Amino acid sequence: MADPRLFRLRVTFRETGRLAMLSHLELARALERAVRRAGLPYAVSQGFSPHMRIAFGAALPVGVGGTAEFFDLFLTDYVAAPKALAALQEASPADLYPVEARYIEHKDPAASVACPVSTYEVVFSEAPVSVVVPEEITVVRKKKEKTLAVADFLVGPVELDGATVRFTLAAKPTGSLRADAFARELVAATVAAGCAPATLHPTSFMRVEQREA
């Protein structure tokens, strides 16, 4: 529930290098600890088990980093955004680094659903001749196989520039196509079509942009 006395600070950060291997839970804990180290006046929930009022954006798969990740932090006192950013930077490792902080409205959508459209950039071990986008992808969800139509999730074309592939996926309220699953199937289809050798694999995988629908 929005408490009008609190200040809602949206912090954008990079998750890079080896820290792309963190799970969402590990990432969340690391960010909370950085906030504590930064000494910001974070709000604490009332009740049985008091905890920091912080909300995280859409989760990244393990192994996928990001340059435009964000979280919302609720503060009890106003701290000028550049000052808050500097304190967070001081308290953060280089691979989990805050790059922007700004205050947003309480009525703005929650961090987890604010930006359902994500653009990813994958750098492959070598440049494919072209990429083959599969039409359907079968995923296992809650032990059940489910077939997803790629067209339902893919926004715009899959762009190939040398060894770099760029694509945009939209999350639906009913579910989403995981970027790592999509990339895996993309590689499989591309290799199967003879457009790249079987050794083709990502060397870097980043979410580079998140935006509203």
Partner 1 sequence: MARRDLWPRVEPLLARVERPARYLNHEWGCADPVAEGDTAFCMIYPDTYELGQANQAVRILVNAVNAAAGMGAERAFLPAVDMADLMREEGVPLFSLESCRPVADFDVVGITLPHELAATNVLETLDLAGIPLRTAERAEDDPIVLAGGPCAYNPEPYAPFFDVILVGEGEEQLPETVALIRDLRASGASRAEILREIARKVGGAYVPSLYRWRDESEAQKAGSWVEPLFEDVPAVVHKRVFEGFAESSALEPMIVPYTEVVHDRLNVEILRGCARGCRFCQAGMMYRPVRERSADNIVAAVREGLAVTGYDEVSLTSLSSTDHSQIAEILTRVNADCAGLGVRISVPSQRLDSFGVEMAELVAGQKKGGLTFAPEAGTQRLRDVINKNVTEDDLFSAIDAAFAAGWRRCKLYFMVGLPTETDDDIKGIASLAQRAYDRAKAAVPADQRGSIRMSVSCAVFVPKAQTPFQWDGQISPEETLRRVGLLKRSVKYKAVDVHYHDPKTSFVEAVMSRGGREVADWVEEAWRRGARFDAWTELFNEGAWTGAAEALGISPAEIAQAEYGTDYVLPWAHITAAVSPKFLARERERAASGITTPDCTFENCAACGACPTLGMDIELQKLREAKDGGEPAKNPYRAILGSEANVEEGAML
Query: Cβ of residue 108: shortest distance to partner 1, in angstroms?
Result: 24
Binding to partner 1 in span 24-43, by CB under 8 A: 25-27, 29-30, 32-37, 39
Q: Does 55 bind partner 1 (CB under 8 A)?
A: no
Q: Which two tokens stand for residue 79?
A: 């701290």
Query: Cβ of residue 120: shortest distance to partner 1, in angstroms?
Result: 16
Q: Does 197 bind partner 1 (CB under 8 A)?
A: no
The type of residue at 189 is: A
The answer to whether 136 touches 151, Cβ cutoff 8 Å, is: no
Rounded Cα gap, residues 70 and 48, in angstroms: 28
Among 6, 22, 160, 169, binds partner 1 (CB under 8 A): 22
Contacts of 130 (CB under 8 A, 6+ apart): 160, 190, 195
Rounded Cα gap, residues 8 and 73, in angstroms: 6
Q: Which is nearer to partner 1, 91 or 188 (CB)?
A: 91
Rounded Cα gap, residues 112 and 24, in angstroms: 12
Rounded Cα gap, residues 46 and 135, in angstroms: 48
Binding mask 125-164 for partner 1 (x = CB under 8 A): ----------------------------------------
Tell me which residues touch partner 1 (CB under 8 A).
17-19, 21-23, 25-27, 29-30, 32-37, 39, 44-45, 47-52, 62-63, 91, 93, 95
